[in-house]
Structure formats: C-alpha cells, structure tokens
Amino acid sequence: MFENADLSLVDWSRAQFALTAIYHWLFVPLTLGLSFIVAIMESIYVKTGNEEWKRITRFWMTLFGINFAIGVATGIILEFEFGTNWSNYSWFVGDIFGAPLAIEGILAFFLESTFVAVMFFGWNKVSKKFHLLSSWLVAIGANLSALWILVANAWMQNPVGMVFNPDTARNEMISFWDVLFNEVAISKFLHTISSGFLLASMFVLGISAYYLLKKREILLARRSILISGVFGLLSSLLVIYTGDSSAKALAKAQPVKFAAFEALYEGKENAGLVAAGILKESDSKIGNTAVNDFAFRIEIPGFLSIMTSGKRDAFVPGIYDLVNGNQSRGIMPVSEKIDRGTKVRNMLEEYKTARKNNDNDKAGMLAATFRDKKFNEENFRYFGYSFFKSPDEAIPNVKVAFYTFHLMVMLGFLFILEFFLAIYFLFRGTLEKQKWFLWVALFSILLPYVAGELGWVLAEMGRQPWIIQDLMPVSAAVSQISSGSVITTFVLFAVLFTLLLVAEVSIMIRQIKTGPKH
Amino acid sequence: MNRLILPFVRIFRFYYDGFSSMSWWGKRVWIIIIIKLFLIFIVLKIFFFPDFLHRKYKTDKQKSEYVLEQLTKSK
C-alpha cells in the first residue's frame, strides 16, 4: 500500500494505540455511569432526608472516587502517541482534532476537578443542595468531556467541515458546527455514554448481589438494586436504540464497515439481518483477500434493509458492490476512487514543485483548486485511495468485524434480561432467594466491559485500513521511527497499566469487603 | 484587604481539611496518582514520547514541507 512504510512499525504502532485505548476504556465508562447513579442516589437523600440514602450515596461515591482517581490521565498517553508515532496524521488533521481535545481538557479540568473536590471534601462543609449540585455537575462534566473526545473520533470516521490547505499540508476547520453535529458524532456519543450507564448499573447490581449472597448490607443492596435495575434497564434500551442510529449513520459514512459486520458480500434488497452465525473461508477471493461464507446462520428476513433506511425493499450494498462498483445503484468502484485520489496526489506533487520553483501563479491556481467545493466533493475526498495498490485493500477484516458486532449485540440483549429480572424479583420480594441470579449478576460485572471493548474493536478495526476515512490510511499516517522504540513503550505501557489496574481492583475489593461506614 | 484574602483562605482550608482528614483509600489513591503523573509526564513524555516533528524541525514551514513530502512519496 505505502511502499516506504515498515509494516511491523505500523502494526506495533497500532497495537500500542489499541493497548492504551483498551486499558483507558476500562476506567472511563464506570466514571460516566456511576457519577449519574451517585447523583440520583444523593437526590433521593436530599429529597427524603433519609440518612440511609446518604450512607448508600457515600459508599458508591467512594468506589466512584477510586475508579476516577486511578483512571485520571490514562487518556493523555493517547495524545503523546499521536505526536510520536502518528506525526503525519497529527499534522494532517491540523486544528480539527486539536480544538475538541482542548475543549475537553479545559472542561475536564475546571468542571470535574473543582466539583469532585466538593463531592469528597464538602460533606458537612457546604449546604446539601450545593453538594448535590456538585455531584450532578461532576456527572454532566464527565459526560461532556467524553463528547469532545468522541467528536474528534467521529471526525476520523466521517471527516466533515474542513478544507485541505496544500501550503501547510493541514486540514483547516471551516465549520465547527459541521464537526460537532456530524451524524456519526451524535450517534457515537449517545451510544457510548449509554453503554457507560449500563456498565455502571451492572457494577452496582453485581456488588449489591454480592452483599445479598453474604447476607449483609441488605437495605443498601436492595435500594441499590432498585436504582441500578431501573437505570440499567433504561440505559440498555437506550444502547439498543442508539446502536440502531449508529448503524444507520455507518451505512452512509462507512458502508464497507457496515457490510463487513454483517459479512454481506452480495448487495440486495430485502436484506436479512444475521442474528447469529459462523463464518468459514470460501474458495473465492476479491484480489488477494479471501471471501468469507457462512457455515451456519440465523437470519431475520428484511431487517438489515429496515435498519439502514426504514424500508424493507431498500438496497443494502455488499462488499462486492462497494469494491467492484455497481453502476445501476450508483456505487463507484474502488479503482475509480484510486484514480481520483492519484489525481489529487499528482496535483499535490505539482504544487510542491511549483512552490520549490517559485512559480507563484501555478501554486496559487492549484491552491485555489484545493479550496474549491466541487473539487473536494469529487476528488479530494478520495485522496487516501491513492496509497492503494489494489482495490481489495479497502476491505477490513470481515471476521473480526462480524464476531465483535454479534457478540456485542448478544451481550446487549442479555443485559436487558438481567436488569428486567432484577426489578421483577425485587418487586416480587424474592430476590434474596434467587441465589442463581445473584451469582449471575455478580459475575456479569465483567460482561459490559467485554461488550464495550468489543464495540471499540469493531469501530476501529472495522474501519481499517483508514485512520481518517477515505483520506488517510494508517500506513501513510505513521512516523518514520524505529519499531524497536515502539515495542519498548508498548511493553512499558502494558506493565504500567496492568499495575494501575491491579491497584484499582485491590483497593476496590478491599472497600467492597469493608462495606459502607456505619 | 481581608475581604479579598478571605475567600482564598477559606478555599485553602477547605482543601487542607479535606486532605488532612482523608480516609485510607483516599491516601492510597493519591499516592498512586502522584506516582502515575510522575511516570506519565516526566518519564514517558520526556524520555519516550518526544514530538516527532518538533524534534526534527524548528519551524512550521519545515514541518509542512516534510509532511507534504511524505504524502507525495511515490507508491
């Protein structure tokens, strides 16, 4: 694809980024969700004046504090990696990535840091109402921080609101609102935070189940299960709804990813959604890429067409259509995109030469072309394809996309069932007798973490080979550094993050075993 | 003068009391936070994560020329 790129360097740089992001995401979702659960519990305390609710709030606030503190600044390493390992990318994206991250930094620092102190140090020092306000502001601040990170990520999935400046070799933001209200950003933000709410609800449900199994802290456990059950059930439904919106946005912005996670090769009308299936490699190939077939599948007829556009007879393009093109459906083949991208690349080369030769007239004319809206829509948007040697390079790993998507969805439906059962048994008054359910709830604490990580693997591996959809493949984004230094820092991170995780889990387990203060 | 200083004194006391009466877990996580921030911002950032372009080039013009070169390199 990019002859000069060392593939092992690209692979190690990707592995390092994946490792950091996966560990970072072990801390973030609990903060997003538990902050709201704590704020809800404290609201009940302030409303009722019942001291038991204060005790419950303070207990969950302690676990929130441990997770928040251990997770602080783990995301900053991702920004270090941009500058060191992904310098071409960092320069190319210009201020588009910088602006949301700067807003996130300022917001996180001022809103979260200030009010987190009031949350933990302010009991009996500030009024009940001000303390409650602080708790809500921490929850809102944490989730707004996530918004800006996800806006930046969504731009990579669906680059909008910018124009490329050949003089600086950077993209410049021309519409902040287009970047902020990018269709992918909105659905991604809602889907991500609701998955955090779900994870935190399962965390509260699981630990409360542990207390019921141990026959201690019964009132705390029952009340916590009530809150987490209702919040978790609503969050699970929101996750499904926003997942559906995300899929619709993906079908437009990243149709190859969409086709890959359903392993749909032949586009069709009335396309069925595969509820479960097992893939096997077939004998056919697209270029050098093997085609997968189903060894077994359960399909819901017409549902994929409905998911993409609300109509059963809607055509859903498959991987063959998207790679080879489908003239009758107006789908451009990748070979044509390669030609258009190469044209842009040649113009960039011409611009470079003109500037070197002080040919200001030609350089000015070419720079004006890069600002032209029509040129951007018809040509520049395919710039990244110029790095391809063959059209099949546009196909992500179909097996990874398919299995991550389906496992994530299956877990999503399992969570709905668990929250529903928790509420049902609680209202029937039989929860303590359902030992099997309490054990399931306890071990289910880990499952939303698995589902969340699967979601990120799907989002990021499903869009390969792109770091910025259609504009820049990962191989063109990487810095020309030695892969040895990337391997060294990979190992360092693995050790550092594992130690942090062990520290968090051990402090958390000790606090859970100790229980709330009496 | 006192009126100007008083809010700062109160804020200082708020944090001072909070930190001095911190619980077991609070002290533990603060030790972890300090070690972690030292490792991230001092050890990792300085020794392992220099900004690639900033280290190689002084001006933005040089950086843009380098990236342009990278983007137009032959396939």
B7 touches chain A (CB under 8 A): no
Chain B residues lying within 8 Å of A77, measured CB to CB:
40, 44, 49
B36 touches chain A (CB under 8 A): yes
Indicate yes or no: CB of B25 within 8 angstroms of CB of A510: yes
Alpha-carbon distance of A222 to B10, in angstroms, equals: 39
Contact B52 A87 (CB under 8 A): yes
A121·B18 Cβ contact <8 A: yes
Q: What is the mean pLDDT of residues A243-248?
A: 89
Instruction: Assess whether pLDDT exceeds 90 at residue A426.
Output: yes
What's the complex ipTM?
0.82
pLDDT top residue among A195 and A481: A195
Asked whether the predicted pLDDT for residue B75 surpasses 60, the reply is no
Residues 6+ positions from A186 with CB-CB distance below 8 Å: A245, A249
Q: What is the C-alpha radius of gyration for chain B, rounded to an integer number of angstroms?
A: 23
Statement to judge: residues A392 and A406 lie in one domain: no
Residue of B nearest to A63 (CA): B25
Classify residue A161 as left (phi > 0), alpha (psi -120 to 50) or beta. Answer: left
Please report the sign of the dihedral spanned by the C-alpha atoms of residue A368, residue A373, residue A378, residue A381.
positive
**A174 and A248 fall within a common domain:** yes
* Domain end position, chosen among A328, A361, A396: A396
| Residues on chain A touching B48 (C-beta within 8 angstroms) | 84, 485, 488-489, 492
Residue the block writes with tokens 């069925």:
A272
Q: Could you tell me if residue A220 is inside a domain?
A: yes
Question: Same domain for A161 and A208?
Answer: yes
Taking residues A178-193, report their average pLDDT: 91
Min distance A75 CA to chain B CA atoms (Å) = 10
Q: Which domain holds residue A311?
A: 255-396
In chain A, what residues touch B70 (CB-CB under 8 Å)? 88, 476, 480
Residue A341 lies in a domain: yes
Please state the domain extents for chain B.
Answer: 2-72
| Chain B residue nearest residue A345, CA to CA | B72
Same domain, A97 and A231: yes
* Whether residue A20 sits in one domain with residue A109: yes
What's the pLDDT tens digit per position in A293-320? 888 999 999 889 988 888 888 899 999 9
Q: Are residues A388 and A460 in the same domain?
A: no
- Distance, in Å, from the CA atom of A135 to the CA atom of A197, rounded to the nearest integer, reads 16
| B8 in contact with A, Cβ within 8 Å | no
| pLDDT at position A428 | 94
Per-residue model confidence (pLDDT) at position A518: 56
User: Mean pLDDT of all residues in chain A?
Assistant: 90
Q: Nearest CA to CA, how far is B43 from chain A (Å)?
A: 11
Instruction: Report how many Cβ contacts below 8 Å link chain A to chain B.
Output: 117
> Residue A121: which of B14, B37, B65 has the nearest Cβ?
B14
A131 domain residue, yes or no: yes
Give A-chain residues touching B60 at CB under 8 angstroms: 168
Mutation site, B37, B40, B53, B72, interface A, largest A CB count within 10 A:
B72
3-class secondary-structure state, position A165: strand
| 3-state SS class at A241 | helix
Cα A312 from Cα B29, distance rounded (Å): 54
- Per mean pLDDT, which range of A25-34, A351-360, A392-401 is the poorest? A351-360
Phi-psi region of A515 (alpha: psi -120 to 50; beta: other; left: phi over 0): left
CA separation for the pair A203, A213 (Å, rounded): 15
Residue A456 has pLDDT above 70, yes or no: yes
The 3-state DSSP class for residue A79 equals: helix
Domain co-membership, A330 together with A206: no
Strand stretches in A258-367, DSSP E: 268-269, 273-286, 289-300, 315-316
Say whether both A351 and A403 belong to one domain: no
| Contact at CB, B18 and A507, closer than 8 angstroms | no
Give A1's pLDDT tier (boundaries 50, 70, 90): very low
Cross-strand pairs, A296: A278
Asked if B51's CB is within 8 angstroms of A87's CB, the reply is yes
- DSSP output for A402-444: HHHHHHHHHHHHHHHHHHHHHHHHHHHT-GGG-HHHHHHHHHG
Q: Are residues A462 and A502 in the same domain?
A: yes
Residue A115: inside a domain: yes
Q: Within a domain: residue A38?
A: yes
Q: Choosing among B21, B37, B40, B71, which should be mutated to test the A contact, i.e. which has the most A CBs within 10 A? A: B71
Enumerate helices (H) and strands (E) in chain B, giving the number of each: 4, 0
Mean pLDDT of A33-57: 95
CA B35, CA B53: separation in Å to the nearest integer? 29
Examine the fold and report which residue of A365, A396, A427 is the final residue of a domain before the chain moves on.
Answer: A396
Total domains in chain A come to: 2
A67 shares a domain with A16 = yes
pLDDT single digits (tens) B52-71: 888 888 898 888 888 888 88
Amino acid identity at A343:
K
Q: Answer yes or no: is pLDDT of B6 > 80.
A: yes
What does the alpha-carbon distance between residue A139 and residue A398 come to, in Å, rounded to a whole number? Answer: 37
Task: Give the model's pLDDT for residue B74.
Answer: 56
Is residue A2 assigned to a domain?
no
CB-based contact B64 A81, cutoff 8 Å: no
B26 contact residues in A (CB cutoff 8 A): 65, 120
* Residue that finishes a domain, picked among A351, A381, A396: A396
Give domain status of residue A485, yes or no.
Answer: yes
Number of H helices, E strands in chain A: 21, 8
Pairing of strands A466-468, A315-316: unpaired
CA torsion angle A224 A230 A236 A241 (round to 10) = -150
- A285, amino acid identity: K
Q: Are residues A372 and A498 in the same domain?
A: no
Which residues have C-beta within 8 Å of that of residue A67, sequence separation ≥ 6? A27, A30, A31, A34, A504, A508
Interface test with A, best of B30, B70, B73, B74 (most A CBs within 10 A): B70
The whole-angstrom distance between A489's CA and the closest CA on chain B is 7
Co-location of A408 and A276 in the same domain: no
pLDDT surpassing 50 at residue A91: yes
Query: Is the CB of B26 inside 8 Å of chain A's CB atoms?
Result: yes
Give 3-state DSSP helix, strand, coil % of chain B, rounded to 5.
Answer: 85, 0, 15
